[in-house]
Amino acid sequence: MEKIKLVYLVALTSITFANAQEGAQGAGGLISALIWMVLLIAIFYFLLYRPQQKQRKQHEEFLKSLKKGDKVITAGGIIGEIKSIEDNIVHLKVAEGTIIKVLKQSLTGYYKEEQST
């Protein structure tokens, strides 16, 4: 949420700066507008696109490293143990005698049981 606020702040600042430069004529106004556009694009890249790309790569690596016996959690919150993996489908044991099929992409991470004290 902080990232979005920062992007809005930069966008508002660039609009205000562009309005202030309206009176300026010639190449100086164009150059400053281009600098602000490049700055805005760089902020969008580093705050939005790059982290999503990194998260997508981590998820792909997680899916490739899955193996039989791993305890995983699905996007819907179902916890299960992997019994078998097909191309795009994973068979999860969620209870004794209950095996469900889920799409491989719906697995979000490994499940780690917390020790209660």
**Is 116 contained in some domain?**
no
- Kindly tell me the burial class for residue 16, based on how many C-beta atoms sit within 10 Å of its own C-beta (0-12, 13-18, 19 or more): exposed
85-117: per-residue pLDDT in tens? 998 999 999 999 999 999 999 999 999 887 655
- Given a contact cutoff of 8 angstroms between Cβ atoms, the answer to whether 80 and 94 are in contact is yes
80-91: per-residue pLDDT in tens? 999 999 989 999
Is 59 in the same domain as 74?
Answer: no
Is 48 in the same domain as 73?
Answer: no
Q: In terms of residue numbers, what domain contains 83?
A: 67-110
pTM of the model: 0.60
- Kindly tell me the burial class for residue 70, based on how many C-beta atoms sit within 10 Å of its own C-beta (0-12, 13-18, 19 or more): middle
**Residue 83: predicted pLDDT:** 96
